[in-house]
Amino acid sequence: MTLADRTLARFAAIVGAAPDLAVRAPGRVNLIGEHTDYNDGFVLPAAIGLQSIVAVRRRPDSIVRVIAADFGDAVSEFDLAKPIARDADQPWCNYIRGVASVLQAEGVDLGGLDMLVAGDIPQGSGLSSSASLSVASGMALGGLFAPGRFDATQIALIAQRAECDFVGMRCGNMDQLASAHGADGHALLIDCRNLDVRPVALPAETAILIVHSGISRGLVDGHYNERRAQCEAVARQLGAPALRDVTGEQLETAQPDLDLVAYRRARHVVTENARTLAAADAMTSGDLVALGELMAASHASMRDDFEITLPAIDALVAELQTAIGQSGGARMTGGGFGGAVVALVEADAVEAVVAHIEARYRTPKGTKPLVMVERAHDGASFL
């Protein structure tokens, strides 16, 4: 039985009726382009098979009852007739509450409903479980109370606003756009300023390998918001709208006037934008060697200039690169400070690479890592 089938069956068992509609929204893995999205830059993610499912049914009052199947059917309720507040006891629901709050601000007349949410994206993995849940919730609520009003990009931006303004995680728009726009067999080259999304075909016979380090991230409590503030401060100092507008030459010229840490943060973003565009070209031409080199340079920049990796993550990336060789590459993916590592691997080498990692890497708990063999999937859709 699929996750969708289990979710629909669980909804009927709890609510006593079938949902009015249900939505699936995938997680994403970012192949290259880290911390460039909120700097108005370029990213190259792919939607994956892991996903969130949201099922909803209207009810006659103003109460929204949200049930989390993955947390023992834990319930979080809020009243649409009152200001929507965060739930300190059930923080997973704050993404949904945030989406409802944004939709109300957009003039959508929401009504009471029962909602069941479920998913199979590992928490804290850097695979955008939060964006997946937010996009699915936005599509479900929009589809129920404002059908046809919002397109995929608008749903993604609603989800981003919920996470930034309600949850307090000042994320960019990559995760939500990737979940909403995913294309089967393709990565997405996203211009995070003008929101252009261009599918880029992954090289034939190439697998996406994701290895969870076993180190969970907590970005709201970590240094993500600090990194964003540092980037914005450098852009202001250089008189640029965002770091996307700063060239490498301009940055080097300004280096004597910049704090060393600020300079390194900016250098990561400026060089990462260039790497991302080069990676899209390499992907189009099927050049796995060039892709591997770009991914390695990206990881080194995250480690040395942006300082968001950890020694265990660095070791895992090194082991993956050793196993892969020159045809493909590996790097940390996601916001940093734990989570997962992504690798592009020739399909016929996957088994050997997985065996190498399982033999040589252990999580902080001493267990073998969770290894996921993925491919690029379509974006969010109604079931």
Q: Which residue numbers are catalytic? A: 175
- Under 8 Å between Cβ of 46 and 182: yes
> Which residues lie below 8 Å from residue 267, measured CB to CB, with a gap of 6+?
251, 301, 305
Asked if 140 contacts 192 with a C-beta cutoff of 8 angstroms, the reply is no
- The tokens describing 54, both together, are 């949201």
In sign, the C-alpha dihedral spanning 267, 48, 46, 154 is negative
99's tokens: 């989406």
In angstroms, what is the C-alpha Rg of the chain?
21
Among residues 33, 70, 34, 38, the alpha carbon closest in space to that of 51 is found at: 70
- Would you give the end-to-end CA distance of the chain in angstroms? 15
Q: CA 130 to CA 116: how far, in whole Å?
A: 15
- Structure tokens given for 228: 């964003």
